[in-house]
């Protein structure tokens, strides 16, 4: 298992760029999520929860924030965090309602892409450099476009 939280503590300056939140604010949210997560575990006791995981609450929150910010596949998340794909999915769906509660959202589904009717995609036009040598071969002054000529 990869401990992204440990790496993030050492390089706290990149937290905003990777997860969309400053490291100091992340620590505050983490404290609140840990409290709510403990309350959830006390309210929903299961006698046998399987093997104990080394995947701490900080990494769970980082996985959830990364999913919400970048919207990667769970396959890529499982690769970067060193866990299984189904476990990454389980973590996200377990932490999302807790994060919504901590953020003050009354409806946890506000953190999902549900009922999206329009998507706006920004595409930046990249200029293409024209030919410098023998430009007249490719330029037609009447049609005002570049002709493709194959030799």
Summary mean pLDDT of the chain = 77
pLDDT at 8 over 90: no
Residue 24 CA to residue 117 CA, distance in Å, equals: 35
Between 46 and 38, name the one with better pLDDT: 38
E strand spans, the chain: 139-140, 145-146
Averaged pLDDT for residues 41-69: 80
Q: Are 111 and 95 in contact (CB under 8 A)?
A: no
pLDDT at 6 over 90: no
Quick: pLDDT tens for 52-63: 677 889 999 999
pLDDT at 150 over 50: no
At 44, give phi and psi (nearest 5°): -120, 70
């Amino acid at each position: 298992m990869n401990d992204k939280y440990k790496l993030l503590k050492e390089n706290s300056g990149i937290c905003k760029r990777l997860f969309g939140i400053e490291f100091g604010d992340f620590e505050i949210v983490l404290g609140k999520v840990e409290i709510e997560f403990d309350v959830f575990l006390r309210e929903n006791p299961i006698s046998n929860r399987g093997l104990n995981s080394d995947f701490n609450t900080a990494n769970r929150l980082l996985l959830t924030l990364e999913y919400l910010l970048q919207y990667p596949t769970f396959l890529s998340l499982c690769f970067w965090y060193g866990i299984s794909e189904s476990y990454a999915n389980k973590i996200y769906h377990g932490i999302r309602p807790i994060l919504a509660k901590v953020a003050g959202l009354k409806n946890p589904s506000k953190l999902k892409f549900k009922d999206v009717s329009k998507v706006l995609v920004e595409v930046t036009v990249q200029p293409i450099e024209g030919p410098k040598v023998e430009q007249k071969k490719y330029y037609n002054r009447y049609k005002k476009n570049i002709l493709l000529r194959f030799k």
